[in-house]
Structure 1
Amino acid sequence: MIRDTQSNALRTLRYDVPASLVVFLVAVPLSLGIAMASGAPLAAGLIAAVVGGIVAGALGGSAVQVSGPAAGLALIVADLVQTYGWRATCMITLFAGAVQLLLGIFRVARAALAVSPAVVHGMLAGVGVVIALSQLHVVLGGKPQHGAIANLIELPAQIADKHSHGVAVGMITIAVLAVWSRMPRHVKAVPAPLAALVAAALAAWVFDWDVTRVDLSGSFTELTFPVLPQGDWHMVVGAVLLVALLAGVESLLCCVAIDSLHKGPRCDLDTELTGQGVANMVSGALCGLPVAGVIVRSTANVKAGGRSRASTILHGVWVLLFAVGLGWSIKLIPMEALAALLVFIGVQMVNLGHVRKVHGHGEVPVYILTMLGVIVLGLAEGVLAGLALAAVLALRRLTWVTVNVRPEDDGHYHATISGSLTFLGVPRLTHELRAIPAGASVDLDLNIDFMDNAAFEAIHNWRVDHERLGGTVDIDDVHDEWYAMAASGARMFPAKTPPRAPDRWWLPWAHRRRRSQPPSALVPEQSGPTEEECRLTAGAREFHRRTAPLVRPIFEGLARRQQPSHLFITCADSRIVPSLITASGPGDLFTVRNIGNLVPRRGAEPHDDSVVAAIEYATQVLGVRTITVCGHSGCGAMAGLLSGGVQAGSMPGLRRWLRHGNHSLARFIDNEGDGQDTGPLDRLCRLNVQQQLANLRTYRRVDEQVRAGELELVGLYFDIGTARVHMLPPLPASYSVKT
């Protein structure tokens, strides 16, 4: 216990204290600027920074996220201040915190992640444009207009007007911010906002410029309390919900983003939302700005080495001490410098990286509409417009149907319908299906995850009409039996169901869902076919329908010649699938299979030319570069060797063949093992692979190519129980076996 406490204290001193100082230096100028953009008292920004650091940091669910006043909420706060006044806005913030607290208690935080990031990024971009346009007027010596469009219209006249010293202060601030990222690393240790404000303040003091100063006198000694908003309570409730949801969503998305930047404990979203709610209640009660998780300060915390919530809490403590003890120094900061800082922040909020991300998912229209809606209509209206468009696009994707009709060489038609079959896709569906010529034989694959009655009626009516005109239609449900169930009158579930895993070629027949297959030209007329024969012919038919069209171009190239790179010698055991365990495809492996993956030595008895012929053809004609011998666990041939031929019983051919494994058995007797095996049989199975590699060297041509570096011999061992492939080294060159 004492050791853990000491370890935590040392970690805090080493990592969290320095990180908290960096975040503090970033937070002070940003908090003042956001308060200015919100139309609130400047002290409200510092109050929110203190509360966000101490309260949200202590009660939240993230170890490294830093909370405080957020630029994304500046517009809505400014609108609330204009409508209800500052003290009533603080009460709205308090109520919004209570809503967040309830949402966190009822554990609905993850629902906020359902909001499209394109809407959030578009909202932040729109807020950035509005803030930049309004504060640019302050930099130029004027006053911001009411609304982004009005600011844009008045901007040319403002630029042409006579400018004061404040313009120079603003230009210095923006210049420092722009070049700071290119400064040497030890210089960049000072946060860019702090460096920019210090440079602007020094320039104004040295040249004695006439600028407007920040004044916090009396802000912390004159206590004020929030009051109830006056007006339509419907609008007040809407404002409370808007602040709660926007601040909550921004905090939770920031949590998710920050989790990808550090290796510490992951964020608990419900706990984080609860902590944000308490922080907003406290901030509102103390007449501070709304609190939310802030990506800039959180990123600075992680990059500065913050590892626990101690850095977040300490940054709030430093802000509090600064405001109480050094608040007088803030009056040295020109207001025009804060406005220029906000212009720069606003421009940075239009992040082109976000545009590239949403572009890959086709959500740029959502981003643009949200951004333009925030700029032209307002924050709430822009967000609602973006959410509406995102919902429409999602509905379109969910109901989009793809119909692919392809004629085959034999006159058949292969049609595939993919997607969600609803009434919205019926026009396209019927148009594509009715384009198939009358009388044609059609294989129709339904690769769908939902089908409503309108879509079923469209497919079924087309099938009836097509067969009435002499055609044939074979319908195959790839996933759930949507068509078969609807045709039988079974109840269809209205919601989507997770698709079952489609049949895979590598699954055993017993593991695959069996379908009733209609007669095929592949099945010869016979009486009483066996189950295995039915499976083989059904499998061949399945290959023709699904796999052959995909691999036909490959086999067309392989039809002229083969160029395998490996000779693969393995056991005939049915559990060994060479292409599966080596992830190889057609034309890669020249394969030899026999009982026990044995390679008879040159001149060995009983004489066998089958393996020798394959080795000669592979090395002298095909020019393979590798010969691989692959054994496996639980090999029956090796069990027969260990039994001295007893298990071979009345199988003389097997007993004669197993004589080629005598050298493996001798090596087994001559070695005690290295502890990597799980028993005698497993050890013999492994040693047998190594012995067969040695047997390959008894052939002169193989040995010459190996010595010349033209051929490589590789040993593999497949552990069936764990489905793992192990590499086995060849025998030492000095090893010899007594025979």
Structure 2
Amino acid sequence: MFRDTQSSWMSTLRHDVPASLVVFLIAVPLSLGIAMASGAPLAAGLIAAVVGGVVAGALGGSAVQVSGPAAGLSLVVVDLVHTYGWRATCMITLLAGAVQLLLGVFKAARAALAVSPAVIHGMLAAVGVIIALAQLHVVLGGSPQKSAVANVLELPGQIADLHGPKVAIGILTITVLAVWTRLPRVFRAVPAPLAALAAAAGTAWAFGWDVTRVDLSGSFTEWGFPVLPQGDWHLIVASVLLVALLAGCESLLCSVAVDGMHGGRRVDLDQELTGQGVANMVAGALGGLPVAGVIVRSTANVQAGARTRWAAILHGVWVLVFAVGFGWSITLIPLEALAALLVFIGVQMVNLGHIRKVHGHGEVPVYVVTMAAVILLGLAEGVLAGLALAVLLALRRLTWVTVRKRDDRDGRTRVTISGSLTFLGVPRLTHELRTIPYGAAVDLDLNIDFMDNGAFEAIHSWRLDHERMGGTVVIDELHDEWYALAASGARTLPAKSPLKAPDRWWLPWAQRRRGAEPVTVPPDGVSECLVTAGTREYHRSTAPLVKPIFTELARKQQPSHLFITCADSRIMPSLITASGPGDLFTVRNIGNLVPRRGSEPHDDSVVAAIEYATQVLGVRTITVCGHSGCGAMAGVLSGGVRAGSLPGLRRWLRHGNHSLATFIETEGDRLHAGALDVLCRVNVQQQLENLRTYRKVDEQVREGKLELVGLFFDIGSARVHLVPPLRPTLCVKPFDRPVVAGEE
């Protein structure tokens, strides 16, 4: 236990302490700037940074997320300060924290993820535009106006009346921020915001320029407990909920994003929301800004090497030490430099990467509407407008119907209808069906998960009309029988039916059911590519089912088994082992052979797979699987005669000579009816021995880190049998079921 504790502290000192210093250097200028943009005392930003680091860092559910004052909330705080005053705004922050705490206790955190990211990104972009426009007036030596539109209208006059040194300080700050990331790494060790403010302060001091200084006098000594806001209690409750929900959503979305940046413990969303709630209660009580998880500081924390929550906690401690011991240095910072920093932050909040992401999912209208509405109408109104549009687009997608038609070479017309069939899709559905010529033979595939009465009536009436005019209609339902049940008068289920795997997908194409796309033979006698037809069937029926699995696996593979088997087309490793995606790292070759170390002809392919599986992927089991009637073993048994005029095959089969020698040693040189299958089993045992000629494999087997398993698949009986190794390795369990992947 002492050793584990010592190792933990060493890891903290090595990784978390340096990361906390990096985040601290970023947090101080950003906290001051956000406080300025929020119309709050500048000290409120530092208080929020301390509380966000210490309290949210200690109690939250994310190991590396950093919390503090968030630019996305500044627009709300400005309005609250203007309406109720600063101390009442602190009480609203405290009450919002209590709401977050309750939501976390009642496990409601995941509901926040139901908010469309396009709405969140559009809202943040709008806030960035508003901040940038407002603070640009400060940079130019003037004062911000009441709205974004007023700031735009006032901007030409502000530019015409420039204020010398103040403008120069602002331009200098923005220039340093813009070029800092392009400097050599040794300079970039200092965060850009800190470098920009230092350059502005130093330049103003050196030239004696008349600039506005940051004033912290009385900020920490004139503290008073928050007071209840006065006014319409409906509006006050709405303000509390708005702060709670916006801060909570931003924190949870940030924690999910940060989860993809590190390989440590995954975030507990309910605990994160609870921690954010407590932090906001403390921040409100101490006179700080609302606290939320912030992506810039969290990203910097991960990139600086943070491993645990100590990085976030220590960054809050450093901010506190700085504010108490070195707060006087803040008064050297020109207010115009802070405003320029906010302009730069505001522009960066309009993230082109977010726009590309929402464009890829067809959600640009939600992003644009949210952004425009927040700028023109207000934050709450803009968010509600974005949410309303997102819901409408989601309903449209859920009720969208696709109708595909094609004429087969046998003269039949195949029509595939996919989606959820509701009355909303009836106009499109009837239009497409009525374009089918009268008298045509139609195969109608219904790839649907729901059908209401309006859609059923549309299809049924078209079918009756088409058949009355001499045509034929054969309906094949790929999932639940919505049409058949409705036609029989039976009651259909009100809920959507889950998608099912394609019917008997493991069958060869020649034996598939009629509903699957066949491999057709055109007049020239050249059959359509099997793989092309198969991929169409996969995209139509299987891809929607497995997409969530592959999305999760996309980052990296972590197979537990290396599976070496024959290239014989009748062997399906995933089928005979009941394995799923990501379970087996598979090597296939003629005869499931493993060339011995240093053998001739030399083969790097199998060796490379073994090295990668054992030394990089860290598989726990290597399985060699042979099968009955193996053609490669028949070639070995014939001394290479059956390889005929295939020189490459004859050379490859030399790797089976040791298997033949072991077979002769145990069976003699007599051949009998079952000799081939006996050799196939012996070959599996020999390949297990061949694996141990590789030093790393043999070491891992001896240390108990790796298990070697032999299998034999009897094709005729569809049974898998365990083949014991020639010499024992580890304890092997009885094999009475066709499962390898996942066994311990």
**Where on the TM-score scale, by shorter chain, does this alignment land: which range?**
0.7 to 0.9
- TM normalised by structure 2 equals 0.76
Give 2:144's aligned amino acid. P
Residue 468 of structure 1: CA displacement? 2.1
Aligned to 2:700: none
CA distance in 2, matches of 1:209, 1:642: 100
Residue ranges of structure 2 left out of the alignment (5+ in a row): 531-565, 580-585, 590-626, 657-662, 693-707, 714-720, 727-735
The DSSP-based 3-state class of the residue aligned with 2:141 is: coil
Check whether the contact 1:139–1:167 (CA below 8 A) recurs between aligned residues: yes
Aligned to 2:338: 338
Residue 405 of structure 1: CA displacement? 1.8
Aligned to 2:218: 218
- TM normalised by structure 1 equals 0.76
Q: Cα 1:358–1:164, aligned 2, differ >3 Å: closer, same or farther?
A: same
The DSSP-based 3-state class of the residue aligned with 1:182 is: coil
Check whether the contact 2:520–2:527 (CA below 8 A) recurs between aligned residues: no
**CA offsets per residue over residues 5-25 of structure 1, 9 Å max, x none?**
222222222222221111111
Residue 677 of structure 1: CA displacement? 6.1
Aligned to 1:546: 517
**CA offsets per residue over residues 340-365 of structure 1, 9 Å max, x none?**
00000001111111111111111111
Check whether the contact 1:572–1:597 (CA below 8 A) recurs between aligned residues: no
Give 2:209's aligned amino acid. W
CA distance in 2, matches of 1:67, 1:669: 58
Aligned length in residues = 621
Matches within 5 A, 1:75-86: 75-86=75-86
Q: Cα 1:39–1:474, aligned 2, differ >3 Å: closer, same or farther?
A: same
Give 1:303's aligned amino acid. Q
The DSSP-based 3-state class of the residue aligned with 2:252 is: helix
The DSSP-based 3-state class of the residue aligned with 1:5 is: helix
**CA offsets per residue over residues 383-415 of structure 1, 9 Å max, x none?**
111111111111111110001122223321111
Q: Cα 1:670–1:103, aligned 2, differ >3 Å: closer, same or farther?
A: closer
CA distance in 2, matches of 1:96, 1:207: 46
Give 1:445's aligned amino acid. D
CA distance in 1, matches of 2:686, 2:169: 89
The DSSP-based 3-state class of the residue aligned with 2:476 is: strand
CA distance in 2, matches of 1:87, 1:16: 35
Check whether the contact 1:571–1:594 (CA below 8 A) recurs between aligned residues: no
Residue 67 of structure 1: CA displacement? 0.6
CA distance in 2, matches of 1:219, 1:146: 25
Give 2:63's aligned amino acid. A
Aligned to 1:4: 4
Check whether the contact 1:569–1:597 (CA below 8 A) recurs between aligned residues: no
Matches within 5 A, 1:94-113: 94-113=94-113
The DSSP-based 3-state class of the residue aligned with 1:548 is: coil
Check whether the contact 1:132–1:347 (CA below 8 A) recurs between aligned residues: yes
Q: Cα 1:595–1:575, aligned 2, differ >3 Å: closer, same or farther?
A: farther
The DSSP-based 3-state class of the residue aligned with 2:404 is: strand
Matches within 5 A, 1:242-261: 242-261=242-261
The DSSP-based 3-state class of the residue aligned with 1:503 is: coil
CA distance in 2, matches of 1:671, 1:20: 53
Matches within 5 A, 1:24-43: 24-43=24-43
The DSSP-based 3-state class of the residue aligned with 1:226 is: coil
Residue 306 of structure 1: CA displacement? 1.6
Check whether the contact 1:173–1:197 (CA below 8 A) recurs between aligned residues: yes
CA distance in 1, matches of 2:529, 2:294: 59
Residue 684 of structure 1: CA displacement? 8.7
Residue 482 of structure 1: CA displacement? 1.4
CA distance in 1, matches of 2:521, 2:77: 59
Aligned to 1:700: none
Q: Cα 1:475–1:337, aligned 2, differ >3 Å: closer, same or farther?
A: same
Aligned to 1:524: none
CA distance in 1, matches of 2:445, 2:638: 55
Check whether the contact 1:664–1:684 (CA below 8 A) recurs between aligned residues: no
Aligned to 1:493: 493
Give 1:448's aligned amino acid. I
Q: Cα 1:553–1:21, aligned 2, differ >3 Å: closer, same or farther?
A: farther
Check whether the contact 2:61–2:268 (CA below 8 A) recurs between aligned residues: yes
Matches within 5 A, 1:723-734: none
Residue 32 of structure 1: CA displacement? 0.5
CA distance in 2, matches of 1:45, 1:28: 8
Let me know the Cα RMSD of the aligned residues: 3.9
CA distance in 1, matches of 2:688, 2:93: 77
Q: Cα 1:683–1:92, aligned 2, differ >3 Å: closer, same or farther?
A: closer
Give 1:336's aligned amino acid. E
CA distance in 2, matches of 1:575, 1:201: 68
Aligned to 1:328: 328
Aligned to 1:693: none
Residue 603 of structure 1: CA displacement? 12
Check whether the contact 1:598–1:660 (CA below 8 A) recurs between aligned residues: no
Aligned to 1:597: 631
Q: Cα 1:482–1:24, aligned 2, differ >3 Å: closer, same or farther?
A: same
Aligned to 2:313: 313
Residue 196 of structure 1: CA displacement? 0.5
Mean CA deviation greater in 77-86 or 333-342: 77-86
Check whether the contact 2:214–2:330 (CA below 8 A) recurs between aligned residues: yes
Matches within 5 A, 1:237-276: 237-276=237-276
Check whether the contact 2:636–2:653 (CA below 8 A) recurs between aligned residues: no
CA distance in 2, matches of 1:672, 1:391: 58
Aligned to 1:58: 58
Matches within 5 A, 1:303-702: 303-507=303-507, 539=511, 542=514, 546-548=517-519, 555-556=526-527, 595=629, 597=631, 619=646, 658=674
Check whether the contact 2:520–2:528 (CA below 8 A) recurs between aligned residues: no
Residue 115 of structure 1: CA displacement? 1.1
Give 1:89's aligned amino acid. T
Give 2:517's aligned amino acid. R
Aligned to 2:703: none
Larger gyration radius, structure 1 or structure 2: 1
CA distance in 2, matches of 1:552, 1:298: 63
Give 1:2's aligned amino acid. F
Check whether the contact 1:601–1:660 (CA below 8 A) recurs between aligned residues: no
Residue 643 of structure 1: CA displacement? 13
Check whether the contact 1:569–1:629 (CA below 8 A) recurs between aligned residues: no
**CA offsets per residue over residues 183-214 of structure 1, 9 Å max, x none?**
11121111111111010001110110101111
Aligned to 1:172: 172
Check whether the contact 1:35–1:289 (CA below 8 A) recurs between aligned residues: yes
CA distance in 2, matches of 1:686, 1:551: 51
CA distance in 2, matches of 1:473, 1:138: 73
Check whether the contact 1:23–1:315 (CA below 8 A) recurs between aligned residues: yes
Give 1:597's aligned amino acid. G
CA distance in 2, matches of 1:190, 1:43: 23
The DSSP-based 3-state class of the residue aligned with 2:361 is: coil
Check whether the contact 2:122–2:367 (CA below 8 A) recurs between aligned residues: yes
CA distance in 2, matches of 1:271, 1:250: 15
Check whether the contact 2:519–2:528 (CA below 8 A) recurs between aligned residues: no
**CA offsets per residue over residues 405-433 of structure 1, 9 Å max, x none?**
22223321111000110100001111111
Give 2:514's aligned amino acid. E
Check whether the contact 1:174–1:196 (CA below 8 A) recurs between aligned residues: yes
Q: Cα 1:684–1:105, aligned 2, differ >3 Å: closer, same or farther?
A: closer
Check whether the contact 1:27–1:49 (CA below 8 A) recurs between aligned residues: yes
Matches within 5 A, 1:68-79: 68-79=68-79
Q: Cα 1:321–1:501, aligned 2, differ >3 Å: closer, same or farther?
A: same
Check whether the contact 2:170–2:339 (CA below 8 A) recurs between aligned residues: yes
Mean CA deviation greater in 366-375 or 490-499: 490-499
Residue 217 of structure 1: CA displacement? 1.1
Give 2:519's aligned amino acid. A
CA distance in 2, matches of 1:495, 1:267: 32
Q: Cα 1:99–1:626, aligned 2, differ >3 Å: closer, same or farther?
A: farther
Check whether the contact 2:174–2:196 (CA below 8 A) recurs between aligned residues: yes
Q: Cα 1:552–1:181, aligned 2, differ >3 Å: closer, same or farther?
A: farther
Residue ranges of structure 1 left out of the alignment (5+ in a row): 510-535, 560-567, 585-592, 632-637, 646-654, 688-718, 725-739
Q: Cα 1:657–1:184, aligned 2, differ >3 Å: closer, same or farther?
A: same
CA distance in 1, matches of 2:572, 2:17: 64
Aligned to 1:231: 231
- 1:153 aligned onto 2:153: yes
Q: Cα 1:80–1:629, aligned 2, differ >3 Å: closer, same or farther?
A: farther
Give 2:122's aligned amino acid. G
The DSSP-based 3-state class of the residue aligned with 2:473 is: strand
